[in-house]
Amino acid sequence: MTNISTTTDIDTTGLDAATRTELEAAVFRRLVSHLQGRTDVQNIDLMNLAGFCRNCLSNWLKDAADAKGVSLTKDASREAVYGMPYADWKRLHQSEATPDQQAAFAKAAAEPH
């Protein structure tokens, strides 16, 4: 699993830590809401284009909880990102990956990041 830095190159001059955290949290919630509404976008497409997917977001959420000593299960973190139990989302929205998608995923996974 990739460790995600909590620092960015975004100019936050003048923002106190609490405000910055609030803004970052709002952006995360908006991203999650956007992805919940875009069930047509498959995780493999996100991985192939951006190098992360809904599962990555849920894993990062769990990692952050673990780092803070907050109890959060993998299932609960996935439900927070998917907006429903993961098994339900897969049944309702996940299609079988095409050979082209699988090939692109295999190529991207083989390249150093």
Q: Report the distance separating Cα 19 and Cα 36, nearest Å.
A: 26
Are the C-beta atoms of 58 and 78 separated by less than 8 Å?
Answer: yes
User: Which amino acid would we find at residue 77?
Assistant: S
pLDDT in tens, 65-110: 999 999 999 999 999 999 999 999 999 999 999 999 999 999 988 8
Which of 1.10.3340.10, 3.40.50.300, 1.10.357.10, 3.10.20.30 would CATH assign to domain 17-110?
Answer: 1.10.3340.10
pLDDT in tens, 1-53: 444 455 555 667 788 999 999 999 999 999 999 999 999 999 999 999 999 99
pLDDT at res. 112: 67
pTM greater than 0.85: no
pLDDT at res. 10: 63
pLDDT at res. 2: 44
